Amino acid sequence: MLPILESGEETLVGGQAVMEGVMMRAPHSYCVAVRRQDGSIVTDEKPLPRLSDRHKIFKLPIFRGVGTLYQALKLGYGALKFSTDQALADMQPASTESKPPKEMPGWAITGNLVLSVAFMIFLYKFMPLLLTTKLGKVYPVLTGRIPFNLMEGIIRVAILVAFLYAVSRFRDMRRIFEYHGAEHKVVFNFESGDPVTVERAQQFTTFHPRCGTSFLMMLMFVAVPVYALIPFDGFAAKFISRLALLPLIIGLSYELIRFAAKRRDSLLAVVAAPGLWLQRITTKPPADDQAAVAIHALEGAMALEKSQGGELVIG
């Protein structure tokens, strides 16, 4: 969930699905709640200092989008490690319960993160560029800068949709997508101003305009006009420039969504629409016990935020 509000300030609540759980964040704190196999819910909550308070450059346009994404990835890394550790603890034989629970080594998750980033660069940067270049040799019309980048953008979005649909067929990923839906329902419930309960949360939709899926789609669209301005014709030069311009595209995408968030009745609906369509794949209706985990995470983040004097109002 992107940290943007109608007022343009950092949002009060957002979150992320993890293995058998949900992470919820407030402006200055976060809480990860994970359900163990015995039915209990374990949590990990910590204060969350704002990156922009420590480094003023991340208050500036473009830079604040890069900083926001960096902090979201870092926070997601920690939340994923916590949920993975709980899964490992559930796999520990009952005869060894007195021993310290196993934990996923930091290097293992870091290595997995590095491989994931490399895979995404290959899938969404290298492959679309390669396929479009090959198509340009068959259809000369694609050699023009604008047609080339439009086709590359179409291929990029098609790969994204196909990839997400493919992984959604796996049972474990479907469980994560159900917790993703639970996160959205609970955030909607909280933003409505009504008391947050499982029954009320289940009445809301799983499609939220501030979802990171919408941000991902925005990245795809913004890349098209930005890449069209690149004067390079060689394959290697184009690929390197796409990597170099990634921070700019991230920053511009964040600014567009931030701007649209101030105009919810007009621009936000247009900007968020493709992301909402994609959420039909990345979110699934949760069970009541999954919604309860999301509420538990929200309550943990709110309690810690309140203890730090955080303002618990929206906007």
pLDDT, averaged per 10 consecutive residues of the chain (315 residues), comes to: 45 83 90 94 89 82 87 86 88 62 66 85 94 93 91 94 93 94 94 92 90 85 91 91 93 82 63 83 95 95 80 41
pLDDT for position 159 = 95
Number of domains comprising the chain: 1
pLDDT for position 269 = 65
| CB-CB contact of 183 with 298 (8 Å) | no
Q: Residue 160 falls within a domain, yes or no?
A: yes
| CB-CB contact of 92 with 107 (8 Å) | no
Q: Residue 1 falls within a domain, yes or no?
A: no
Q: Which helix (H) or strand (E) holds 18?
A: strand 14-18
Does the CA dihedral 12-49-74-293 come out positive or negative?
Answer: negative
pLDDT for position 262 = 65
| CB-CB contact of 3 with 68 (8 Å) | yes
Q: Residue 98 falls within a domain, yes or no?
A: no
> What DSSP character marks residue 206?
S
Strand, helix or coil for residue 254? helix
- Domain region containing 85: 14-92+120-307
Q: Residue 73 falls within a domain, yes or no?
A: yes
Rounded Cα distance between 178 and 216, Å, is 19
Q: Residue 102 falls within a domain, yes or no?
A: no
Q: Residue 271 falls within a domain, yes or no?
A: yes
- Write the CB contacts of 295 (distance below 8 Å, at least 6 apart in sequence): 186, 196, 197, 198, 201
- For the chain, the C-alpha Rg in angstroms (whole number) is 21
Please name which of 183, 216, 204 lies closest in space to residue 283, comparing C-alpha atoms: 183
Q: Residue 178 falls within a domain, yes or no?
A: yes
Give me the amino acid identity at 297. A
Q: Residue 112 falls within a domain, yes or no?
A: no
Question: Token digits for 315?
Answer: 């906007």
pLDDT for position 209 = 77
Rounded Cα distance between 42 and 35, Å, is 6
| CB-CB contact of 55 with 66 (8 Å) | no
pLDDT for position 151 = 95
Q: What is the pTM of this model?
A: 0.85
Residue 184 half-sphere exposure, CB side, CA atoms within 13 Å? Answer: 25
